[in-house]
Structure 1
Amino acid sequence: MRSAPAYREGDRSVPLIDDSVGGLLAARAADHPDTEAVIGVRHGTGDIERLTYAALFGEACRVAAALSTLVEPGQYVALWAPNLVEWTVIQYGAALAGAVLVALNPVLRDDELDYALRHSRAHVLLHADVSRGYAMGEVAERVCADIPGLRRISLSEREVWLAPAAAASAPEISADSPVMLQYTSGTTGRPKGVLLTHRALVNVAKLTMEATGAPPKARCFNPLPLFHTAGCVIATLGPLWLAGTSVLCERFAADEALEAIRRENVSVLFYVPTVLHALLRRQREIDMPATQLSVIMGGASNVAADLIDGAASVFGAHVYNLFGQTELAPVLSLTRPGDSPQDQLNTVGRQLPHLDCKIIDPDTGATVGVGEVGEICARGYQQFVEYLHDPEATARALDPDGFVRTGDLGAMDHRGYLTVTGRLKELIIRGGENISPAEVESIIADHDEIIDVVAVGLPDERMGEIVAVACRVAQGNREGLRDRLIDHVRTRMPSYKVPARWFLVDEFPRTPTGKVQRFALRDAILEHELHEL
């Protein structure tokens, strides 16, 4: 007898709020003007800045006034900077102005930045001057010189992007209007622009905080990149919902992070496995009691059970595993207080309220039975509006009933708890960063000594996954080949995309139709069957 279908409707009893990002900030500034809202480093100074809700709202209103002279509501403003106080101020300012914020990775190279700016059709680029020794200002100047109609503004030019005073009136912003464009790597090379609404961001942050039981006015440590939805939605708008404090980490290092957690009396920590692993390892090494936290929440890949157990034991916190993707703004499901230890360690919990979830056969689209593995799909108010300028890709991402096809494989039990077993998509997730194998392959393939190349993700305790490539190479001297290949790619891609391991193959395992069997290649590497450079 066939089991019940793996389908579960979202809980509609939990209320949603009908508010914009800027509207929620205004409410917090009115009710909690003197509460610290954000703590972080100022651009160009290295100084720690502490902004109360009143001060944050005031600066955001001045940003909105400045942007309103440069763009119309609904137009795109790109932000290219590391985790600075200005990032959060501009995020709120753009929302108040009715602009759509284009969140860009601060390690983008020239061609990647050029693509994002042209594709989004941004009217303004706000950028940092330097980040971790990377001359962002020089890159921005070089790239923007060839893009007609784009206004480039350095964060050092405060008089340009920060008006002397707030505007006399602000545009009326609908909760259903777009507020953010996030670029996410796909399997075909170029990243897609994921368009998200105010309603999605505000309510996903609200419901996630409520589901984990994060305490009101919590002081929250955010080591996640702000250009990711995890960083600028859950770890920014989450504290906003709590009327709490967001403590930004400009550049993560375990010792400095642990000190900041102690100094700022942090009770909530956001994480990806790489961060949590480093904090846990360092805390075990130092001769000092661990700061006791209330909630630790995060995800980005399957989180090892011993990492969750270890963090709970050392930091005295409830550790919650979040699962989702950018297209869902970004949380689909999470573990919760009251879940059994087995569920907390081995599942990604249940879906958020107002989000319907099902598991389908990826080939037929039919809903599979409870306990059967298939593609995880979700539908609700929080799903993305579209892939910008790509209606075909948008259509492919949805099934006939309007569910977002996540590309992740998993199963649902009879209670609605989800487990994730793999990915249909071949993305490599290294330390929370999505990496397209096709992009890595195209750059390596440009090298004269490469005939063919395939990139795969290999499991790694610290990073979750690392990038590995298998290459078919031309006949010739192979001495020093690895160094030559690394020199070739380092100037063409950010360091986190550079393969950590390089292998040689004579032929790739293929299907009868000629497609490379990436899983078979990955297995061959893990079984030590390939020659490593």
Structure 2
Amino acid sequence: MQVSTVPAAPRTDAPLTESLRPADSGLPLSDHTVGSLLREVAARRPDAPALESVPDDGGAPRRWTYAELLAEAESVAGGLRERVGLGARVALWAPNLPEWPIVAYAAALAGVTLVTLNPALRAGELTHALRTSEAEMLIHADAGRGYPMGEVVREVAPGLPGLRHIVPLAAWDALRGSAPLPSRQEVASVPAQIQFTSGTTGDPKAVLLSHRSVVNVARLTFEGLGVRDGATVVSPLPMFHTAGCVISCLGPLWSGGVFTLMERFDPKVLFEVLRRSPGAVLTSVPTVLTALNDVARAWDGEPARLSSVLTGAAPVRPQLITETEELFSTTVFNLYGQTELASVVTLTRPDDSAEDKTSTVGRPLPHVACKIVDPDTGRVQPLGVPGEICARGYQQLLAYYGDPEATARKVDADGWLHTGDLGSMDATGAVRIEGRLSDLIIRGGENIAPGPLESFLSTLPGVRDALVVGVPDDRWGEIVAAVVLPAADRPEGPDLDACVARCREQLSPHKIPARWYLAEGLPLTASGKIQKFRVRELIAEGVLRRLDAPAAQAA
């Protein structure tokens, strides 16, 4: 039997007295860059499988060994350095393709900063991203899901004089070159990536991340999970996001395993890939798990068995965790993070209780301090009392590129990064997510955190999932509105009288939704996060179907 390359991180025994967990520095950080880490693994396991890419139609994957992956990346790195200098910004605009991780490794070996771009960006959004990042070079796909990306590039390029080089992925051979590559020390002095925030609360910001942050977050996440040596990691997540290009892509390097990239998420294709990869690790978001579980429930053959499932990026219902564990004979690990922290801050662990795994997002990774503060005073909250989640550690952003004012708003004078998320902490340092600070509902002076309320509503009969937002009200200022997604066996929606009755039994009166809406789906960012501002807009526009009588809206 194969064993973990590194044991799971131990639990600290000393109980906390307030909602502040100091950084655990027991494990040293690695000084690898992304490129030097690839070189080390390729030297140790040259013939081991490193990368496979599953096409849209579920056809035969394309595969590379570690030696082949390194050789290809070094060739492209030479081509990059023939065009741009050390520290230049090189943008990649493409859907999930095997060339994506190759270009990412090439950028790291070349000592340039990779700018990762959402393939769904429209012309104005692409222009904003390229201008904000000051990209000197753009590598792009010609099309993605029918979207003419090449045409869009030709449309925006004339307005971007700083963009000196444009190369389509179709001209792959033109990307190759033989220019000398920089030393490891030179590369370490250059930021690894610019990642754009998901835009759940406003315009996306350009997050500058270091090699130290992305390499070690991937490492400490996999060590925390106790991922076995040589494990296959299957990812349907978008590569332009940190969950794809940091955790899913770099994590396997630390276990010498295989990164299986799904070129497009199709739950049936994903299920088949998992069936042929027993003991794999799946990286996911809740929307992926929900669709995958639908396929697994309908399957009457030998089930897929996974060693572990990693999920996050959006609130995860306890029922979804339990269901996934039963269907795949696995353990689901829940995480919390954001782009500004290289994607992972807290993580549940193998030795956590069932309650902790389903109701918390775990304890902070090593080398990151975490605290919960009163948003108004900045004081550390007592244990169990919600407040803003703040973190401080090696993995936080270097800056919002080109925006020092936004950086100063995000990171205070003591170096604490303010996440804008609401949470609480218990005596072990485990964090519970309560929602976004900007999503806090204030009804008649009473603060209502959406997170716990959404978790409760999702347990009601006939409800598959639930979302809570505040909507304007003349009397209360704001009132609670619930948007429910119907269970598969109740497409017409739940029995509203039964739902309200359960709410009256379990909730304080001011928390009971005053309005109820039915939705088939929710607006999501490309990384799977719900756009609550858009939900509020849909309510205001009258798009969502009301379940309750209009006369009940002031109840």
For this structure pair, what is the TM-score category when the shorter chain's length is used for normalisation? Answer: 0.7 to 0.9
1:334 paired to 2:347? yes
Task: Specify whether residues 45 and 139 from structure 1 end up closer, same or farther in structure 2 by C-alpha distance, changes over 3 A only.
Answer: farther
**CA gap 1:297/1:94 in 2 versus in 1, 3 angstroms:** same
TM-score, length basis structure 2: 0.77
Contact 2:372 2:388 in 1 (8 A): yes
8 Å CA contact 2:118–2:240 kept in 1: the answer is yes
Query: Aligned in 2, Cα 1:223/1:95: closer, same or farther, shift over 3 Å?
Result: same
Deviation, structure 1 residue 302? 1.4
SS of residue paired to 1:15: coil
**Equivalent position amino acid for 1:157 in 2:** A
The correspondence for 1:243, drawn from 240, 244, 256, is 256
| Correspondence list, 1:76-475, <5 A | 76-150=89-163, 151-163=165-177, 166-172=178-184, 173-175=186-188, 177-186=190-199, 189-265=202-278, 267-426=280-439, 458=483, 460=485
Where 1:62 maps in the other structure, the secondary structure is helix
CA contact (8 A) 1:503 1:530 kept: no
User: Equivalents in 1 of 2:438, 2:273: separation in Å?
Assistant: 37
RMSD: 3.1
Contact 2:221 2:365 in 1 (8 A): yes
Amino acid at match of 1:75: A
1:264, distance to aligned residue in structure 2 (A): 3.9
Cα deviation, 1:241-285, whole Å, max 9, x if unaligned, reads: 111001111111111111112234451001100101111111111
* 1:50-87 residue CA offsets vs partner (Å, 9 max, x unmatched): 01100000011011100001111111000000111100
2:246 and 2:482 map into 1 onto residues whose CA distance is 27
CA apart distance, 1:505: 7.0
CA distance in 2, matches of 1:43, 1:159: 23
Aligned pairs, number? 456
Tell me the CA shift for residue 415 of structure 1. Answer: 1.2
Alpha-carbon distance in structure 2 between the residues aligned to 1:71 and 1:197: 19
CA contact (8 A) 2:82 2:179 kept: no
Report percent identity of matched pairs. Answer: 46
Q: Name the CA shift for 1:236/1:124 in 2 (closer, same or farther; >3 Å).
A: same
CA contact 2:54–2:260 (8 Å) conserved in 1: no
Q: 1:352/1:188 Cα in 2 relative to 1: closer, same or farther (>3 Å)?
A: closer
1:526, distance to aligned residue in structure 2 (A): 8.1
Which residue does 1:37 correspond to in 2? Answer: 50
- Displacement, 1:199? 0.4
Distance 1:200 1:528 in 2: 52
3-state SS of the aligned residue for 1:235? Answer: helix
Structure 2: runs of 5 or more not aligned: 1-15, 441-449, 452-468, 470-480, 488-522, 524-529
Amino acid at match of 2:43: A
- Whether contact under 8 Å (2:116, 2:193) holds in the other structure is yes
Deviations 1:210-234 (A, max 9, x none): 0011111101110100000000000
Give the deviation of 1:5 after TM superposition: 2.3
Equivalents in 2 of 1:340, 1:379: separation in Å? 26
Query: Residue in 2 aligned with 1:476?
Result: none
CA distance in 1: counterparts of 2:138 and 2:280, whole angstroms? 35
CA positional deviation for 1:370? 1.1
Aligned residue for 1:384, secondary structure, equals coil
Q: Report the counterpart of residue 6 of structure 2 in structure 1.
A: none
Query: Whole-Å Cα distance in 2 between the matches of residues 111 and 76 of structure 1?
Result: 19
SS of the equivalent of 2:306 reads coil
| CA 52–385 in structure 1, closer or farther in 2 if over 3 Å, else same | same
Matched letter for residue 291 of structure 1: A
Equivalent residues of 1:221, 1:266 under 8 A apart: no
Hey, what does 1:502 align to over in structure 2?
538
Corresponding position of 2:84? 71
| Inter-partner Cα distance in structure 2 for 1:176 and 1:530 | 63
Q: Cα offset for 1:16?
A: 1.1
Secondary structure of 1:69's partner?
helix
Q: Distance in 2 between matches of 1:339 and 1:394?
A: 35
Letter in 2 for 1:170: P
